[in-house]
Amino acid sequence: MKATIAVLPGDGIGPEVVGQATDLLSHIAAKYGHDFEFVEGLIGGIAIDETGAPLPPATVALCEASDAILLGAVGGPKWADPTASVQPERGLLELRQHFGLFANLRPVKTYPALVDHAPLRADLLRDVDILFVRELVSGIYFGARQEQGDGDDSYDTMRYSRDEVEQVANVAFRAAQGRRKKLCSVDKANVLASMRLWRRTVVEVHEEYDDVELEHLLVDAATMHLLTRPGSFDVIVAGNMFGDILSDEASVLAGSLGMLPSASLRADSFGLYEPVHGTAPDIAGQGLANPIGMFLSAAMLLRYSLGLEGEARAIEAAVDDALAAGLRTADIAGAGEKAVSTRDFAAAVKSRV
């Protein structure tokens, strides 16, 4: 198959892990007889430095002409001044909103080889395999707000429409159908009107998916259940802010932020794929970055935007094999375990594909 992939490395360790991912995808293309064209664009801090904008129009145009976007991460101390007129993170929000990427998929799973290094008891972490589906373009991050000023009063508004909840609930129910057929919807329906609409709508959408078991949790309870019974969850659907917080909480289950991939999707096959981690300025440029979150994001791109399930699984299996063989980057190396560089870990995955 022929596909054009927009590549936006961004800042910090972004270019380091993105470079390894395009290399891996080229290897997949050669092995399976595909033709992937990579077109590179600017986003984030480097885009501000070179053009003055975190998401230059040329980058938007390049993404519009592509089948999917592969992104590293944006931001860093150089652009961290909160009073600056433009921030790198704005580029990411604009990109998600421009393309209407309303469903953010974040899988979190534990690897048998790593459970002993995680901060939770190993017996709690056995068989954890959760897919978070977070609403991404509405809710409190996009509601009416009192812009920052020097006053003593400010507000943000959490609002949802029935359509917005329906579309993300449909993605979550369909995902559950393809997995273990359990969906947990997280809200705060006991206090917030927008969350009562959320729960009502999810219950209505459930009527079309009677093979899926539906559970509701209030967000405060969900934070505890995630740590006390993580293995019992299959798919979790939540609004923008609650999904953001809970999926970050769940990232500790996997042992390192560097392990986690994400996909941001809309109703057609177009999507944005990026690791969950940021630009890790503390380790940038040292060859220490864990490329797994980036690699698994590339696998999601193959699966959701290009429909190449076998190729996606080949990457996932190669990552599993490399970990089982004892290969570790520094962030996941336990006491006494030798860590390998980003490049060596990537080569080990590539050779196993």
DSSP class of residue 304 equals I
| Residue among 284 and 353 whose Cβ is closer to ligand NAD | 284
Amino acid at 228: T
| Residue among 314 and 332 whose Cβ is closer to ligand NAD | 332
Residue 323 and residue 318: Cα distance in Å, rounded?
9
Residue 177 and residue 131: Cα distance in Å, rounded?
12
Q: Does 300 bind ligand NAD (CB under 6 A)?
A: no
Residue 195 and residue 187: Cα distance in Å, rounded?
6
Half-sphere exposure of residue 155, counting CA atoms within 13 Å on the CB side?
A: 5
The secondary structure of 133-190 as a DSSP string is EEE-SSGGGTS-B----SSS---B-----HHHHHHHHHHHHHHHHTTTSEEEEEE-TT
Q: Does 302 bind ligand NAD (CB under 6 A)?
A: no
Interaction mask 225-264, ligand NAD, x per CB under 6 A: --------------------------------xx------
Q: Does 289 bind ligand NAD (CB under 6 A)?
A: yes
Residue 249 and residue 282: Cα distance in Å, rounded?
21
Interface residue with ligand NAD, options 175, 331, 345, 350 (CB under 6 A): 331
Interaction mask 4-33, ligand NAD, x per CB under 6 A: ---------x--------------------
Contact segment (CB under 6 A) with ligand NAD among 73-81, 124-132, 178-186, 264-272 equals 73-81
CA 224 to chain centre: 22
Q: Does 215 bind ligand NAD (CB under 6 A)?
A: no
| Residue among 202 and 260 whose Cβ is closer to ligand NAD | 260
Q: How many CB atoms lie within 10 A of CB 275?
A: 29
Instruction: Please report, as residue ranges, which positions from 263 to 282 form the binding site for ligand NAD (by CB under 6 A).
Output: 274, 277-282
Q: Does 290 bind ligand NAD (CB under 6 A)?
A: yes
Query: Are β-strands 129-135 and 103-109 bridged in parallel, bridged antiparallel, or unpaired?
Result: antiparallel
Q: Which residues are catalytic?
A: 141, 188, 220, 244, 248
Q: Does 283 bind ligand NAD (CB under 6 A)?
A: yes
Q: Does 104 bind ligand NAD (CB under 6 A)?
A: no
Which positions touch ligand NAD (CB under 6 A)? 13, 73-76, 89, 92, 257-258, 274, 277-283, 289-290, 293, 331
